[in-house]
Amino acid sequence: MYTVRVRDHFMIAHSFRGEVFGPAQKLHGATFVVDVEFRSTSLDDNGFFVNIGPATETLHRILGGLNFRNLDDEPAFKGRNTTTEVLARTVFDRLAAAIGGGELGAGGRAVESLRVTLNESHVASASYEGRL
Amino acid sequence: MYTVRVRDHFMIAHSFRGEVFGPAQKLHGATFVVDVEFRSTSLDDNGFFVNIGPATETLHRILGGLNFRNLDDEPAFKGRNTTTEVLARTVFDRLAAAIGGGELGAGGRAVESLRVTLNESHVASASYEGRL
Amino acid sequence: MYTVRVRDHFMIAHSFRGEVFGPAQKLHGATFVVDVEFRSTSLDDNGFFVNIGPATETLHRILGGLNFRNLDDEPAFKGRNTTTEVLARTVFDRLAAAIGGGELGAGGRAVESLRVTLNESHVASASYEGRL
Amino acid sequence: MYTVRVRDHFMIAHSFRGEVFGPAQKLHGATFVVDVEFRSTSLDDNGFFVNIGPATETLHRILGGLNFRNLDDEPAFKGRNTTTEVLARTVFDRLAAAIGGGELGAGGRAVESLRVTLNESHVASASYEGRL
Amino acid sequence: MYTVRVRDHFMIAHSFRGEVFGPAQKLHGATFVVDVEFRSTSLDDNGFFVNIGPATETLHRILGGLNFRNLDDEPAFKGRNTTTEVLARTVFDRLAAAIGGGELGAGGRAVESLRVTLNESHVASASYEGRL
Amino acid sequence: MYTVRVRDHFMIAHSFRGEVFGPAQKLHGATFVVDVEFRSTSLDDNGFFVNIGPATETLHRILGGLNFRNLDDEPAFKGRNTTTEVLARTVFDRLAAAIGGGELGAGGRAVESLRVTLNESHVASASYEGRL
């Protein structure tokens, strides 16, 4: 199994509902350093599957839809807590949709699974991974 | 599959028995920077499964049972080499027992597997992972 | 010259005023991973100057005054942009005041200068350093 | 499942054929920081499976066969693009052959699978993993 | 003193002349992960001195003049070894010239000194720093 | 000013005397990941000052004099606490002596100052720097 990983980041404000969140119920924010792993069992004749240039651009475009936002005001998250886990899943779903829509071409169609990790500090991260 | 990762560390003395260990047969020590990954296939209504605050506290309590010790004197390791692999398994077992004992509540019961990694330097680490 | 460095982090929401900030004029947020360097030309008889345990606690208390806040609502920053540079200076000033107030004891009095670095992502940081 | 990871690096020149590579069609180069993960389900009586000392030496010898080379001139890669993915597979195959040839002894025979990751910058890497 | 740091990278081929370089006399290559620190004693009314957006773009443009090249063929380095030290100085000089030419505006004119660090692997780097 | 940095590590056992050290009075240990920065204002005709190969070997030899030891039993530290600060100074002094003794040749004689940093975990380090 081959894996290609690329890194980017985004910066958001949000708050959480539920006593379990303690002080994180107040409006605060985070930088998420994002690692995306694309996986495939084979390479094409060029010696790769997903082209790292377009893959990086697609990731950057998707993170741009979250960057510099207050997620409490985003319709996509209405009624939900935007935990690191939920955001990892959101980036996964949007990347999967882009790949399914052909945005990464033949290389994208070779992607069998994705793992999206959001690093929120030097001591914590959350990931979502799944098959396409 | 969702993964949540938290990081902490502990510092111990120990020695190894067996010629294969060369100079590490002498009493020396290590800092272990510990990454624990908790895995689950689903999130609860709050948008998470294991609560990162209590999970961090439980990990800190468990590492506190090893921190600032000479492992050669610890009954738990009598007659065994406390290699990085063995210590990764030890932290795994103690975390699994804490979760099994309900210490992390409903979120803990949602944990399906754990991976414990002990980073011993900038060039080496060992992990143990398994299902709960 | 001796330097001791400790690391912690905090997570905030904020926005910037001024067209130069582009999309960062919108409410967003950041995780700041904070490195504080304490510097002294000499050690005491114990073999250190600032005690790393209390120094870490003092840093944690000071960052707790910023953590999980919307800095746009904090009186301390009224009328100012809370750029990474400004926040590095704020942490520096509060640490310097704590040391000046004797919070770190004799070891604190031996501190000749401080450097405070706020890492805002994997590709950017800002620092403030100065003599006490 | 136990995993042991060791790190080393190598530095090469190469170029890629195919318009899809854009400016990387020109002769350029890379540092690859290499992480190898060895995996086994059990430990021996010493408390490990693969001995980290010889494993590190074997990895260093294998990377030495690539280090300080222009890969465009290496017969092993004739007619192929030496992408990060292809090189991860190459290191995997050479390590697998060394283990199969008994170079890591009984510990090597306990290795059930390998993962080889080549980090090419702070924002990109590629891996190949498989069973032995 | 305030410091702002940004990170980018470039990938090149080169060889060294002189027996002292051993196997590095052969054509090989490197990824350089570049950290640039801009320093100033004061901030403007916006709360910063150098604008991190344009600073990042200027650095990227300058590294683009080195990226994906065989430095042995670059007239700028004719007759010289392109060691990490020499390349750190080169990036410093080109950034200093860009700042001197007004490319970073008023914020650039506030920059009093620069430090350019080229990380060539996980175990080695070289820097050049100086006043403007 | 040019700086060249190299990294290596060592692993030791030790204990501290003095109530101020709390649980660290017990025999424990640490991994120290060591960064050494060599500084010079000029380069030689080869494009460097200190040769990174011999510099790395000298550092490795010096750390070998500490590695896999119980520092409580080392005559060099009799009656002293081997804090991270003291150990950073020790590595500095031994490197300075090696350079003074000509071990790094002409390049070593060009070294004007050194900085030695011992990283003891992901959240703490200590350094000693000085002129030669």
Q: What is the interface pTM, i.e. ipTM, of the complex? A: 0.96
Pairwise CA distance, residues E25 & E3, whole Å: 37
- Which chains sit next to D, with 3 or more Cβ pairs under 8 A? A, B, C, E
E72 min Cα distance to partner chain B (Å): 32
Mean pLDDT of C108-129: 97
How much is the average pLDDT of C64-80?
97
CB-based contact, F36 to chain B, within 8 Å = no
pLDDT value for A128: 98
| Option in F81, F85, F124 nearest C2 (CB) | F85
DSSP code per residue over E115-132: EEEEEEETTEEEEEEEE-
Closest approach of B34 to chain D, Cα-based (Å): 14
Q: How many CB atoms lie within 10 A of CB A102?
A: 10
Residues in chain C with CB shorter than 8 Å from the CB of D125 are: none
Chain D residues lying within 8 Å of C123, measured CB to CB: 122
Which chain D residues are closer than 8 Å to E32 by Cβ?
Answer: 31
Other C-beta atoms within 10 Å of B126: how many? 26
Question: Parallel, antiparallel, or unpaired for β A124-131 and B2-14?
Answer: antiparallel
What mean pLDDT, rounded, does chain C reach? 97
Residues in E closer than 8 angstroms to F52, CB to CB, are 124
Determine contact: B113 vs chain A, CB below 8 A: no
User: Coil, strand, or helix at residue D113?
Assistant: strand
Here the tokens at position B2 are: 């969702």
Residue B25 at interface with chain D, using a CB cutoff of 8 Å: no
Say if residue D103 is exposed, middle or buried (CB neighbours under 10 Å; 0-12, 13-18, 19+): middle
Average pLDDT over residues C27-35: 98
Contact E13 D31 (CB under 8 A): no
C6 near C62, Cβ under 8 Å?
no
Report yes or no: A68 at the C interface, CB cutoff 8 Å: yes
In DSSP notation, D34-56 reads EEEEEEES---TTS-SS-HHHHH
Q: Give the SS3 label for residue C42.
A: coil
DSSP E56: H
Query: Rounded CA gap, A113 and A49, in Å?
Result: 13
Find, among C10, C59, C54, the residue nearest to C37 by Cα.
C59
Phi, psi of C100 (to 5 degrees): -60, -30
How far is A109 from A82, CA to CA, in rounded Å? 29
Q: Are B26 and F69 in contact (CB under 8 A)?
A: yes
Report yes or no: D71 and D103 within 8 Å, Cβ to Cβ. no
Shortest CA distance from E52: residue in chain C: C124
Chain F partners (3+ C-beta pairs within 8 A): A, B, C, E
Whole-number pLDDT of residue C35: 98
User: Three-class SS of residue C63?
Assistant: helix
Burial (CB count <10 Å: 0-12, 13-18, 19+), residue B120: buried
pTM for the whole structure: 0.98
Mean pLDDT, rounded, for C64-79: 98
CA dihedral B65, B67, B71, B74 (to 10 degrees): -30
Separation CA C128–CA F3 (nearest Å): 21
Q: Is some CB atom of chain C closer than 8 A to the CB atom of D122?
A: yes
Q: With touching defined as 3+ CB pairs under 8 A, do chains D and E touch?
A: yes
Beta strands in chain D (DSSP E): 2-14, 28-40, 69-70, 113-121, 124-131
Task: Give the H or E element holding residue A75.
Answer: none
CB contact A113 to D (< 8 Å): no
Rounded CA gap, C110 and C41, in Å?
8
CA dihedral (B52, B53, B55, B60) positive or negative: positive
> Across chain D, what does the average pLDDT equal?
97
Q: What is the pLDDT of residues A5-38, one digit of tens each?
A: 999 999 999 999 999 999 999 999 999 999 999 9
Mean pLDDT of B87-114: 96
Chain F interface includes E79 (CB < 8 A): no
Residues 6+ apart with CB under 8 A from B49: A85, B2, B4, B38, B40, B42, B43, B107, B110, B111
Give CA–CA dist B103/A48, Å, rounded.
46
Pick the closest to residue E21 from F104, F53, D14 (CA basis). Answer: F53
The single-letter code of the amino acid at F19 is E
| Inter-chain touch C126–E3, beta carbons under 8 Å | yes
Structure tokens at D13: 């020149």
Q: Count CA within 13 A, CB hemisphere, residue E122.
A: 20
Is E4 in contact with E61 (CB distance < 8 Å)? no
Full DSSP string of A111-129: --EEEEEEEEETTEEEEEE
Asked whether the beta carbons of residue A30 and residue C30 sit closer than 8 angstroms, the reply is: yes
AA identity, residue B103: E
Summarised one tens digit per residue, pLDDT across range E70-109 is 999 999 999 999 999 999 999 999 999 999 999 999 889 9
Burial class (CB in 10 A: 0-12, 13-18, 19+), B44: middle
**CB within 8 Å: F124 and C52:** yes
Predicted local confidence at residue A90, as pLDDT: 98
In this complex, whether C and F touch, counting 3 or more CB pairs under 8 angstroms, is yes
Computed on alpha carbons and rounded to an integer, the radius of gyration of chain D in Å comes to 16
- Spatial separation of the C-alpha atoms in residues E121 and D119, rounded to whole Å: 10
pLDDT digit string, tens, across residues A61-94: 999 999 999 999 999 999 999 999 999 999 999 9
F86·C3 Cβ contact <8 A: no
Maximum Cα interatomic distance, chain B, rounded to a whole number of Å: 54
From B83, B128, B130, residue closest to D48, measured CB to CB: B83
Assign 3-class secondary structure to chain B: CEEEEEEEEEEEEECCCCHHHHHHHCCEEEEEEEEEEEEECCCCCCCCCCCHHHHHHHHHHHHHCCCCEEHHHCHHHCCCCCCHHHHHHHHHHHHHHHHHCCCCHHHHHCCCEEEEEEECCCCEEEEEEEEC
pLDDT of A66 reads 98
Question: Is there a contact between B71 and B118 (Cβ–Cβ < 8 Å)?
Answer: no
Mark yes or no for CB contact D1/B129 under 8 Å.
yes
| Structure letter (DSSP) for residue F26 | S
The crossing angle, in degrees rounded to 10, of helices B52-64 and B84-100 is: 130
User: Which residues neighbour F100 within 8 Å (Cβ) at sequence distance 6 or greater?
Assistant: F132
C83 Cβ under 8 Å from any chain E Cβ:
yes
Confirm if B1 and A126 have CB atoms less than 8 A apart. Answer: no
Spatial contact of B108 and B102, defined as CB atoms under 8 Å apart: yes
Contacts of B123 in chain E (CB under 8 A): 122
Task: Give the whole-angstrom CA distance, residue C63 versus residue C74.
Answer: 14
Q: What angle do CA E10, E14, E18 make, to 5 degrees?
A: 140
- Place C46 in a pLDDT band, splitting at 50, 70 and 90: very high
**Cβ-based neighbour number of residue A75 at 10 Å:** 5
- In this complex, the residue of C81, C124, C128 whose CB is nearest that of residue E47 is C81
pLDDT digits (tens, 9 = 90+) for D68-89: 999 999 999 999 999 999 999 9
Contacts of C56 in chain F (CB under 8 A): 123-124
Q: What is the pLDDT of residues B8-64, one digit of tens each?
A: 999 999 999 999 999 999 999 999 999 999 999 999 999 999 999 999 999 999 999
The answer to whether C52 touches F124, Cβ cutoff 8 Å, is yes
* Regions of chain F short of the pLDDT cut 50: none
Q: Does D14 contact E at CB distance below 8 Å? A: yes
Residues of D with Cβ-Cβ distance to A3 under 8 angstroms? 117, 126-129
Mean pLDDT of E115-127: 98
Share of chain B above pLDDT 70, in %: 100
- The confidence score (pLDDT) of residue A115 equals 98
- Select the residue of A1, A6, A43 nearest D86 (Cβ to Cβ): A43
Chain A, nearest residue to B41 by Cα: A128
CB pair distance less than 8 Å for D46 and B81: yes
* B42: contact with A, CB 8 A cutoff: no
Regions of chain D short of the pLDDT cut 70: none
